[in-house]
Amino acid sequence: MLYKTLAELYESLSATTKRLEKIKILSEFLKKLSEQDRDLMYLLLGEIHPSYSEKKIGISNQLAIKAISKATGMGEKRVVQEWKKIGDLGKVAEKLAEHKKQTTLHSMASLTAKKVIDSLRKLPELEGKGTVGKKISIITELLASASPIEALYLIRTLVGDLRIGIQESTIREALVSAFFQEFNEEEKKEVSKAIQSAIDKTNDLAKVFEIAKKGSLKELGKIHLEVGRPIKVMLSQKVPTIEDGFKALGKPCAVEYKYDGFRLLIHKKSDNEISLFTRRLENVTKQFPEAVEYVKKYVKGKSFILDSEAVGFDRKTKAYLPFQQISQRIKRKYRIKEIQKELPVEVNVFDILYYNGKSLLNEPFEKRTSLIKKIIKNHPYRIICAKQIITDSEKKAEEFYKKALADNQEGVMMKSLSAAYQPGSRVGHMLKIKPEERDFDLVITGAEYGTGKRSGWLSSFILSCFDKKTGRFLEIGKVGTGIKEKGVKGQENLTFERLTKILTPLITEEKGKTVKIKPKIIVSVTYQEIQKSPNYSSGFALRFPRVTALRPDKPLSEITTLDEVKKDYERQK
Ligand code: ATP
């Protein structure tokens, strides 16, 4: 397939904001896509490999500017000037490519989509000396044979800002509409669920495309878990009280500590193949060598997939630490031994998805949780089965809840004993209860530079929630509180300086003191109240918001949605 065909698809997708229209356009495209072109499925989301792969394109704006300059013969200064004016490097590349087309006579070779993906895949492979130069030549070569519209989408893909309003869920619905046309509405709903489940188990859109293309629900059902390949985790819903929990789940049910750590999926393929993944599907095996060792030593079984929460604790006092303290270990790739000593983790296992060659997803929770107890040898401060009671007594559950809070944990989880494990779903059979209801996980989409003491730093941050219906991020307020001016040595500090450093490479537009920021950095925010507000695109504003933590463990798809904001607004009334 020519890359031009894909660029034209992007163009028509971005020309409409209507979800149904997008699904229709995409579905027509998918019908024409051959199996040889399966890898283009990744490009639909601006990626080059399955979403769990660590090989991301990762090109900075600065590098893209250099490549545009080289390919078009315009000085870098001119490219930057245009960027400031237009605010979209892709559009700059398009404009300059147009100009070049008019001033040069040579005809362009046609760019195939395969050539594009092959070239893009070379980028994350480059390492060591001369990497920047090599990356620039790969991009320049692509740009040199690109038409203006191809240049537009090449650059947007490179800098990770495709702007076509497509999510995994749009692709899912387009697959239903393309390959299950003859099914009735009820059956289509079932197909949609099966496709979502296939996506959540494989996290590989090209693989799901290949199978969906067969048009058979049975085939979709054959997609299984694979040990060593990350899986999306099952998520919980929130209820205000233990009583509500029992009402929703029935009696008896399991009540567990809700640990204040981060989610860790543990895969054991063989004795020497143990890998750890976050809920963002990132491989963090190297970051937590002690967890690998505990699994080797204290968990019985040839192969398995465990779901757990890793919690940090103070080496000396053994007191559990809040998530923010240990979140730095997730990203840290150097001096691992040192930080491991400073901030050790305890692994609290609460579920099992696979054991000795067999998927347990459809087994009831009661069976799964009792298997965990059989195969794990509890070693506090190393690895343990999550603290749990199975009860039908509200009184006992309340006492357990109090104990969890006294132990510095967030609250409790209540779980139905008969439920299956549904990867990727926010299910109604696993419920969380915690005292602080008023917090959201929001993404930073803009900021303002400070003045006076804070000049040179970004000091006020625009927060956005996610609107599932339109696939857009909607602003819900500004925050500057909770971030420190000065860090304290030896602590995990969220300072203005640190945030500025993290956010600067993500700036997409700059106007005076205000900048727009690519939605990537997620923060947990508490607030006093939600108000209606015409000032923000969500229609809501947070009163007295305060940042409590960076959430490097959380994927964008799991931030607070507009529906959740609305629900909490109603509840608060
Ligand atoms: P929160 O911000 O409240 O942690 P969340 O959006 O991060 O919520 P939820 O799925 O809504 O995630 O809340 C459950 C989270 O709590 C899980 O993702 C997991 O990381 C953590 N957790 C801690 N203890 C348990 C447990 N015993 N069972 C299941 N999840 C647990």
CATH number for 61: 1.10.3260.10
Pick the catalytic residue from 100, 135, 232, 258: 258
Given this model, what pLDDT does residue 571 score?
81
What are the distances in angstroms from CA 416 to CA 88, 254, 260, 372?
49, 7, 21, 16
What ligand 1 atom has the least distance to the C-alpha of 263?
20
Given this model, what pLDDT does residue 435 score?
85
Q: Per-residue pLDDT for 222 more than 80?
A: yes
Total number of domains constituting the chain = 4
List CB contacts of 39: < 8 A, sequence separation 6 or more: 48, 114, 117, 206
> Does 55 share its domain with 144?
yes
> Does 287 share its domain with 331?
yes
Determine, yes or no, domain membership for 234. no
Ligand 1 pocket test: pick from 237, 405, 432 the residue with the most ligand atoms within 8 Å of its Cβ. Answer: 432
Ligand 1 pocket test: pick from 235, 237, 465, 523 the residue with the most ligand atoms within 8 Å of its Cβ. Answer: 235
Nearest CA to ligand 1 atom 20: 263
> Does 517 share its domain with 533?
yes
Domain enclosing residue 194, as ranges: 168-221
525 lines ligand 1 (CB under 6 A): no
Q: Per-residue pLDDT for 106 more than 60?
A: no
User: Residue 447: helix, strand or coil by DSSP?
Assistant: strand
Sign of CA dihedral 416, 249, 378, 336: positive
30 lines ligand 1 (CB under 6 A): no
What ligand 1 atom has the least distance to the C-alpha of 415?
28
260 lines ligand 1 (CB under 6 A): no
Q: What percent of the chain has pLDDT over 90?
A: 77
Given this model, what pLDDT does residue 454 score?
87
What ligand 1 atom has the least distance to the C-alpha of 524?
2
Nearest CA to ligand 1 atom 11: 236
Q: What is the pLDDT of residues 35-67, one digit of tens each?
A: 999 999 999 999 999 988 989 998 999 999 999
Q: Do residues 343 and 329 lie in contact, with contact meaning Cβ atoms separated by under 8 Å?
A: yes
Given this model, what pLDDT does residue 436 score?
66
Q: Do residues 136 and 66 lie in contact, with contact meaning Cβ atoms separated by under 8 Å?
A: yes
Given this model, what pLDDT does residue 107 score?
53
Determine, yes or no, domain membership for 470. yes
- Phi/psi of residue 46, each to 5°? 75, 20
Q: How far is the CA of 236 from the centre of ligand 1 (A)?
A: 7
427 lines ligand 1 (CB under 6 A): no
Indicate the residue among 433, 448, 478 that finishes a domain. 433
400 lines ligand 1 (CB under 6 A): no
Q: Report the distance separating Cα 189 and Cα 468, nearest Å.
A: 18
What ligand 1 atom has the least distance to the C-alpha of 558?
6
Q: What percent of the chain has pLDDT over 70?
A: 97
Determine, yes or no, domain membership for 307. yes
Q: What is the pLDDT of residues 339-362, one digit of tens each?
A: 888 899 999 999 999 999 999 999
> Does 307 share its domain with 423?
yes
Mean pLDDT for the stretch of residues 112-132: 95
258 lines ligand 1 (CB under 6 A): yes
350 lines ligand 1 (CB under 6 A): yes
Mean pLDDT for the stretch of residues 165-188: 95
> Does 151 share its domain with 178?
no
Instruction: Give the CA radius of gyration of the chain.
Output: 25
DSSP assigned state of 459 = E
Mean pLDDT of the chain: 93
> Does 559 share its domain with 516?
yes
H/E element holding 89? helix 89-103
Determine, yes or no, domain membership for 227. no
List CB contacts of 493: < 8 A, sequence separation 6 or more: 484, 487
Mean pLDDT for the stretch of residues 196-206: 93
Nearest CA to ligand 1 atom 12: 235
> Does 279 share its domain with 419?
yes
389 lines ligand 1 (CB under 6 A): no
Given this model, what pLDDT does residue 471 score?
82
For this structure, is 258 an active site residue?
yes
CATH number, position 377: 3.30.470.30
Q: How far is the CA of 322 from the centre of ligand 1 (A)?
A: 14
Given this model, what pLDDT does residue 470 score?
82
Q: Residue 563 CA to chain centroid, in angstroms?
A: 19
Residue type (1 letter), 528: Q
For the ranges 386-390, 393-397, 435-439, the lowest mean pLDDT is seen at 435-439
Q: Which of 206, 29, 37 is nearest to 198 (CA)?
A: 206
234 lines ligand 1 (CB under 6 A): no
Identify which has the larger pLDDT, 303 or 570.
303
What ligand 1 atom has the least distance to the C-alpha of 279?
18
Determine, yes or no, domain membership for 343. yes
> Does 401 share its domain with 283?
yes
Q: How far is the CA of 260 from the centre of ligand 1 (A)?
A: 8
Which token pair is 419? 């439920």
Which token pair is 7? 């660029």
> Does 457 share its domain with 428?
no
Other C-beta atoms lying within 10 Å of the C-beta of residue 183: 15
Q: How far is the CA of 438 from the centre of ligand 1 (A)?
A: 16
Q: Report the distance separating Cα 126 and Cα 121, nearest Å.
A: 10
> Does 386 share its domain with 264?
yes
Determine, yes or no, domain membership for 163. no
Q: Report the distance separating Cα 146 and Cα 6, nearest Å.
A: 13
Given this model, what pLDDT does residue 321 score?
87
Nearest CA to ligand 1 atom 2: 441
> Does 394 share its domain with 449?
no
351 lines ligand 1 (CB under 6 A): no
Would you place residue 491 in the very low, low, confident or very high pLDDT band (cuts 50, 70, 90)? low
Given this model, what pLDDT does residue 489 score?
66
Given this model, what pLDDT does residue 568 score?
87
263 lines ligand 1 (CB under 6 A): yes
What's the CA angle centered on 246, arms 245 and 251, to 5 degrees? 145
Q: Report the distance separating Cα 27 and Cα 191, nearest Å.
A: 15
What's the CA angle centered on 139, arms 138 and 143, to 5 degrees? 125
Indicate the residue among 433, 464, 483 that finishes a domain. 433
Q: Per-residue pLDDT for 13 more than 90?
A: yes
Given this model, what pLDDT does residue 400 score?
98
Q: What is the pLDDT of residues 513-572, one digit of tens each?
A: 999 999 999 999 999 889 999 999 999 999 999 998 899 889 998 999 999 999 889 887
Other C-beta atoms lying within 10 Å of the C-beta of residue 62: 12
Given this model, what pLDDT does residue 342 score?
87
413 lines ligand 1 (CB under 6 A): yes
Indicate the residue among 107, 126, 158 that finishes a domain. 158
Given this model, what pLDDT does residue 104 score?
65
466 lines ligand 1 (CB under 6 A): no
> Does 266 share its domain with 331?
yes
What ligand 1 atom has the least distance to the C-alpha of 262?
20
259 lines ligand 1 (CB under 6 A): yes
Determine, yes or no, domain membership for 544. yes
Q: Per-residue pLDDT for 105 more than 80?
A: no
Ligand 1 pocket test: pick from 236, 262, 327 the residue with the most ligand atoms within 8 Å of its Cβ. Answer: 236
For the ranges 97-106, 221-230, 383-392, 437-446, the lowest mean pLDDT is seen at 97-106
What ligand 1 atom has the least distance to the C-alpha of 238?
11
Mean pLDDT for the stretch of residues 469-474: 88
Mean pLDDT for the stretch of residues 21-26: 97
Determine, yes or no, domain membership for 154. yes
Ligand 1 pocket test: pick from 232, 259, 558 the residue with the most ligand atoms within 8 Å of its Cβ. Answer: 259
For the ranges 260-264, 463-467, 568-572, the lowest mean pLDDT is seen at 568-572
Given this model, what pLDDT does residue 277 score?
96
Mean pLDDT for the stretch of residues 406-419: 94
- Phi/psi of residue 245, each to 5°? -60, -50
